[in-house]
Chain A
């Protein structure tokens, strides 16, 4: 089954404790991205990747890191989480066909930083 898998689904952590949210897709998609969803603000892009070893900042990259060492995986790293990073996070992937194809989303990771 074609899917984007995020782990964990729920995470509560303390300020400053490094964490990684994993994202994996099985559709051989070139394009992958991370979003955060906050009430009233919709989806905001954190980072995106056009292909292996190619990443770039989205609209709200501060406090986050990513890597793309393999095509299927795109982990999101919070080196020193802070309470303002409490949010619902989504990973998405898609083919890169001149912008004609849709994105497939993971189930989301609800992160709480206390």
Chain B
């Protein structure tokens, strides 16, 4: 079957710290992988995506690499800001167009 597992939060970091949020997946076929961000009181927004193995998605200083061998898509940022405080969702979309979301990881960044 298809599923996404991401690290439980909350994750609390100081400003300028390095961020990693782990995401692993189980999928049949060749899924596309996504990271979404949800700011308080808002809907989900696409942060980055990768559609095939070894692709690296990047946006706003965040990066994630599609690792087929480890079935992972970990989110990283070299220096977080207070404004990055949000909930982050890892997701996959399979070849039948269905999405599967992880449970979300809340990030708190302290000044």
Contact residues of A with B, CB < 8 Å? 4, 31, 33, 35, 40-43, 45, 48, 50, 90, 92, 94, 96, 98-108
State which of B16-24, B61-69, B70-78, B87-95 sits at the interface with chain A.
B87-95
For chain B, the count of residues having a C-beta within 8 Å of the partner chain is: 23
Which residue in B43, B93, B96 is a CB contact (below 8 Å) of A105? Answer: B43
Query: In the bound complex, do residue A33 and residue B99 qualify as a contact, i.e. CB atoms below 8 Å apart?
Result: yes
B10 to chain A, nearest CB (A): 12
Query: In the bound complex, do residue B93 and residue A99 qualify as a contact, i.e. CB atoms below 8 Å apart?
Result: yes
A-B contact count (CB 8 A): 58
Over the window 94-109 of chain B, the binary record of Cβ atoms lying under 8 Å from chain A Cβ atoms (1 yes, 0 no) is 1111110111100000
Contact residues of B with A, CB < 8 Å? 31-32, 34, 36, 42-46, 49, 51, 89, 93-99, 101-104
Which residues of chain A come closer than 8 Å to B32, judged between CB atoms? Answer: 99-101
B73 to chain A, nearest CB (A): 14
Which residues of chain A come closer than 8 Å to B96, judged between CB atoms? Answer: 99
Query: In the bound complex, do residue A43 and residue B42 qualify as a contact, i.e. CB atoms below 8 Å apart?
Result: no
Can you list 18 A-B pairs with a CB-CB distance of less than 8 A? Answer: A31-B97, A33-B99, A40-B103, A43-B104, A90-B43, A90-B44, A94-B97, A96-B97, A98-B95, A98-B97, A99-B94, A100-B51, A102-B34, A103-B99, A104-B46, A106-B43, A107-B42, A108-B43
